[in-house]
């Protein structure tokens, strides 16, 4: 079994300033074996992490978080950009054409572009996040977990960290060999378990303090 954090943002996302090197340090410290930089609408972070993890113990999976017309979709395994604002169906087709898996992150989070919150068509998706570290309490994750059980959809845990210290706050245990193709296959077969306690309010407060308030009171 390996520990995988499949949804991490880096400085290539407009809403994160995390350096890939810092993300890798925290991942190593927290014994995360497999990571994916899933930046908003760009694979630049993925390209960097693939280079930096060559010949290291950490396996990086290419990934991108695409803003479809109705919500976010991860192109997991995709090394190329996919245009934003396509329909969910077209976005998913593009992901599959590139050999990737279409994973729905935070599916029911209505204020963070959760796709399944407002899109009711049947979609050809491969997996969903049932433990997104930013919504560990309550409705969003519970509803996703229920869907995964009802539809027999593979379930993943992920940090969705926009700050490197939150990497690994949720993760998946995955039964696989440590190579990209095998990881994708194992997810498809549902050989994953969503784990982790999520990002605590204390940790979030410290982050806000570091980001905003520290300078003011120096
Ligand atoms: Zn998102
Ligand atoms: Zn995200």
Tell me the CA–centroid distance for residue 105 and ligand 2, in Å.
7
CB atoms within 10 A of CB 19: 13
Looking at 3.40.1800.10, 3.30.70.1290, 3.90.1150.200, 3.20.20.140, the CATH number of the domain 2-217 comes to 3.20.20.140
The ligand minimizing its distance to the Cα of 15 is: 2
Question: Residue 112's pLDDT is what?
Answer: 79
Tell me the CA–centroid distance for residue 200 and ligand 2, in Å.
17
Question: Residue 208's pLDDT is what?
Answer: 75
Tell me the CA–centroid distance for residue 160 and ligand 1, in Å.
8
C-alpha span between 163 and 173 (Å, rounded): 22
50 in Cβ contact with 24 (< 8 Å): no
C-alpha span between 17 and 21 (Å, rounded): 12
Please count the helices (runs of H) and the strands (runs of E) in the chain.
8, 10
Question: Residue 134's pLDDT is what?
Answer: 83
Question: Residue 217's pLDDT is what?
Answer: 46
> SS3 of 65, please?
strand
95 in Cβ contact with 73 (< 8 Å): yes
Helix, strand, coil % over all residues of the chain, rounded to 5: 35, 20, 40
C-alpha span between 17 and 208 (Å, rounded): 13
C-alpha dist (Å) from residue 171 to 4, 33, 195: 5, 10, 5
Residues bordering ligand 1, an ion, CB closer than 5 Å: 72, 105
Tell me the CA–centroid distance for residue 174 and ligand 2, in Å.
20
Question: Residue 97's pLDDT is what?
Answer: 98
Tell me the CA–centroid distance for residue 217 and ligand 1, in Å.
32
Question: Residue 198's pLDDT is what?
Answer: 83
Q: Where are the domains of the chain?
A: 2-217
Question: Residue 218's pLDDT is what?
Answer: 42
Residues of the chain with pLDDT under 50: 215-218
Question: Residue 137's pLDDT is what?
Answer: 61
Tell me the CA–centroid distance for residue 217 and ligand 2, in Å.
31
121 in Cβ contact with 95 (< 8 Å): no
Question: Residue 109's pLDDT is what?
Answer: 87
Question: Residue 18's pLDDT is what?
Answer: 95
The ligand minimizing its distance to the Cα of 158 is: 2
C-alpha span between 59 and 38 (Å, rounded): 14
Q: What is the pLDDT of residues 140-199, one digit of tens each?
A: 889 999 999 999 999 999 999 999 999 999 999 999 999 999 999 999 999 999 999 888
């Amino acid at each position: 079994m390996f520990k995988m954090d499949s949804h991490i943002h880096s400085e290539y996302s407009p809403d994160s300033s995390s350096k890939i090197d810092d993300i890798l340090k925290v991942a190593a410290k927290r014994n995360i074996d497999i990571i994916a930089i899933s930046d908003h609408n760009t694979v630049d972070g993925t390209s960097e992490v693939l280079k930096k993890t060559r010949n290291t113990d950490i396996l990086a999976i290419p990934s991108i978080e695409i803003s479809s017309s109705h919500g976010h979709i991860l192109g997991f395994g995709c090394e190329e950009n996919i245009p934003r604002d396509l329909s969910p169906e077209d976005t998913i087709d593009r992901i599959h054409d590139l050999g990737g898996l279409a994973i729905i992150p935070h599916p029911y989070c209505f204020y963070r572009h959760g796709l399944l919150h407002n899109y009711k068509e049947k979609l050809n998706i491969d997996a969903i996040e049932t433990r997104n570290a930013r919504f560990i309490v309550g409705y969003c994750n519970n509803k996703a977990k229920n869907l995964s059980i009802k539809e027999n959809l593979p379930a993943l845990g992920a940090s969705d960290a926009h700050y490197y210290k939150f990497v690994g706050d949720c993760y998946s245990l995955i039964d696989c060999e440590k190579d990209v193709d095998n990881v994708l296959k194992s997810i498809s077969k549902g050989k994953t378990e969503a784990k982790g306690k999520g990002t605590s309010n204390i940790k979030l407060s410290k982050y806000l303090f570091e980001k905003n308030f520290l300078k003011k009171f120096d």
